[in-house]
Structure 1
Amino acid sequence: MSVSSLTEERFISITTYKRDGSTASTAVWVMSDDRRRLLVRTGAQTWKAKRIRRDPRVLVAASSASGKEKGPQIPGKARFLDPSEGPLVEQLADRKYGFLKKLSDGSIRLTSMIKRKQPEFVYLEITDRDEAGAEAGQQQV
């Protein structure tokens, strides 16, 4: 099975690896521009972003909005996109999630006004994990 099989899902569970080798999962919105790679927006300071900076190996699965997995986990690798690709991901999210995205963005803006801090997002590309990458990732843990 390939990560590309998840491009039409509304939510996926993304599992990342902690320093001690244990895992942590969370549900995220998922977009795709070419039906081969998954695109994800997340906060720059989220734990998943911090863990991916250290170890790009991930497991992804179709899930509910709450993160309950609805299918098998698929090994993948995450890569941070250049910030210039952010508008593409935002446009894809607008198209896929419509009013829900507008509601979410409004909530984020309100929270950032209260905290007096601009929200920082990072954009991830998730692709299939190749065997060489899988071995290298296992050595890091």
Structure 2
Amino acid sequence: MSPTLSEIGAAKYVLLTTFRKDGSAVATALWAAPDGDRLLMWTVTDSYKVKRIRRNPRVTVGACDVRGNPKGEPVEATAVVLDDAGTEHAREVIARRYGVLGWLTIKGSLLRRGRSGTVGLAITTD
């Protein structure tokens, strides 16, 4: 039986896999936090993963270690790039989930990149 988003979100790192135009997979380890029936993530706005999600919202997610080595079975899902309000909510949820380190990382990113420099992602299963 495949894991749920809540079970995957309980891991310290989550492996988000997006797909290029040619169908090849690109995996990235990210912080994530469960939020109801979805998983919230946060990343740099102009990253290639965001560009790939805008083009093709099909992704897979699974638990992993800090280096991106899978720790379980991945789950097929759909990703959505959040608007400004959704991104702010994602920042709050992730900061809460990761404690002082999360708060410091997000505040440092806001100082470095500003509010528009990062974007939230919402992951849901179909």
Q: Which structure 1 segments of 5+ residues have no match?
A: 130-141
Q: Give the letter for the 1:5 counterpart.
A: E
Deviation (angstroms), 1:109 = 5.3
**Which residue of the partner structure matches residue 8 of structure 2?**
6
Paired residue total: 123
Q: Which of the pair has more CA radius of gyration? A: 1
Q: How far is 1:107 from its partner?
A: 4.7
Q: Which residue in the other structure is 2:83 paired with?
A: 82
Query: Which consecutive aligned stretches of 4+ in structure 1 deviate over 2 angstroms post-superposition?
Result: 1-5, 102-110
Shift, 1:82, TM fit: 2.3
SS in 2 for 1:20: coil
Question: Does the 8 A contact of 1:3 with 1:76 survive in 2?
Answer: no
In the superposition, relative to structure 1, how do residues 30 and 108 fare at CA in structure 2: closer, same or farther (>3 Å)?
same
Cα RMSD (Å): 1.8
Q: Is the 8 A contact 2:9 2:63 kept in 1?
A: no
Deviation, structure 1 residue 87:
2.4
Where does residue 120 of structure 1 map in the other structure? Answer: 117
Distance 2:82 2:110 in 1: 23
Q: Which one of the candidate residues 23, 26, 32 is aligned to 2:25?
A: 23
Per the TM alignment, residue 99 of structure 1 is displaced from its structure 2 partner at its CA by 2.0
Percent of pairs identical after alignment?
33
